[in-house]
Structure 1
Amino acid sequence: MRVFSNLAGLPEAARGATVALGNLDGVHLGHRAVLAAAHQARPELPLAALTFEPHPREHFRPDDPPFRLTLLPAKANALAAAGASLCYALPFDDSWAHMPHEVFFQTVLREGIGAGHLTCGPDFAFGHRRGGNVAWLRQACEEAGIGLSVVPPLADSEGVISSSRIRRELQGGYPERAAALLGRPFTVVGEVSHGDARGRTLGFPTANVPLGRHIEPARGVYAVQVTLASGQVVPGVANLGRRPTLGGDPISRIEAHLFDFSGDLYGQEVSVALLAFIREEKRFAGLDALVAQIALDAAAARRILAA
Structure 2
Amino acid sequence: MRTHYHWAGLPEADRGASVAMGNFDGVHLGHQAVIDLARRTDAPLGIVTFEPHPREFFAPHAPAFRLMNAEARTHRLEKIGVEQLYELTFDAALAGMEAEAFVADVLVAGLGISNVTVGSDFCFGKGRGGDVDTLRVAGKRHGFGVSIAELISLDGDEISSTAIRRALDEGRPRGAAHMLGHWHRIEGEVLHGDKRGKGLGFPTANMDIGGLHLPRLGVYAVKADVLTGRHAGSYDGAANLGVRPMFGDNRPNLESYLFDFSGDLYGEHLSVALVDYLRPEMSFDGLPALIAQMQDDCDRAREILADA
Q: Smaller-chain TM-score range?
A: over 0.9
Q: Distance in 1 between matches of 2:58 and 2:250?
A: 25
TM-score by length of structure 1 reads 0.96
Q: Distance in 2 between matches of 1:60 and 1:258?
A: 38
Matched, 1:102 2:103: no
Q: Structure 1, residues 224-281: CA drift from partner, whole Å, max 9, x if none?
A: 111112431111111100000122x231011111111111111111111111111111
Q: Which residue of 1 aligns with 2:47?
A: 49
Residue 72 of structure 2 aligns to which amino acid in structure 1? A
Q: Structure 1, residues 196-244: CA drift from partner, whole Å, max 9, x if none?
A: 1111121211111111322211100000111112431111111100000
Q: Which residue of 1 aligns with 2:251?
A: 251
**How does 1:87-236 map onto structure 2 within 5 Å?**
87-228=85-226, 229=228, 230-236=231-237
Residue 45 of structure 1 aligns to which amino acid in structure 2? A
Q: Structure 1, residues 98-123: CA drift from partner, whole Å, max 9, x if none?
A: 11111111101111111111101110
Cα shift at 1:158: 4.3
Q: Distance in 2 between matches of 1:150 and 1:231?
A: 39
For the Cα contact (< 8 Å) 2:219–2:280, is it kept in 1? yes
For the Cα contact (< 8 Å) 1:227–1:272, is it kept in 2? yes
Q: Distance in 2 between matches of 1:289 and 1:185?
A: 31
For the Cα contact (< 8 Å) 1:35–1:82, is it kept in 2? no
Q: Distance in 1 between matches of 2:171 and 2:51?
A: 27
> How many residues are matched?
304
Q: Distance in 2 between matches of 1:76 and 1:13?
A: 20
Matched, 1:28 2:24: no
Q: What's the RMSD between the two structures over aligned residues?
A: 1.3
Cα shift at 1:126: 0.3
Q: Which residue of 1 aligns with 2:299?
A: 299
Cα shift at 1:48: 0.3
Cα shift at 1:43: 2.0
Cα shift at 1:30: 1.0
Unaligned runs of 5+ in 2: none
Q: Distance in 1 between matches of 2:266 and 2:217?
A: 24
Q: Which residue of 2 aligns with 1:241?
A: 242
Q: Distance in 2 between matches of 1:64 and 1:289?
A: 38
For the Cα contact (< 8 Å) 1:245–1:285, is it kept in 2? no
Q: Distance in 2 between matches of 1:83 and 1:256?
A: 29
Q: Distance in 2 between matches of 1:170 and 1:158?
A: 19
Q: Which residue of 1 aligns with 2:77?
A: 79
TM-score by length of structure 2 reads 0.95
Q: Distance in 1 between matches of 2:279 and 2:156?
A: 25
Structure 1 stretches of 4+ moved >6 Å: none
Matched, 1:277 2:291: no
Cα shift at 1:286: 2.4
Q: Distance in 1 between matches of 2:72 and 2:57?
A: 20
Q: Distance in 1 between matches of 2:219 and 2:156?
A: 26
Residue 94 of structure 2 aligns to which amino acid in structure 1? W
Secondary structure at the residue paired with 1:168?
helix
Q: Distance in 2 between matches of 1:117 and 1:149?
A: 8
Q: Percent identity?
A: 48
Q: Structure 1, residues 266-300: CA drift from partner, whole Å, max 9, x if none?
A: 11111111111111112223222211211111111
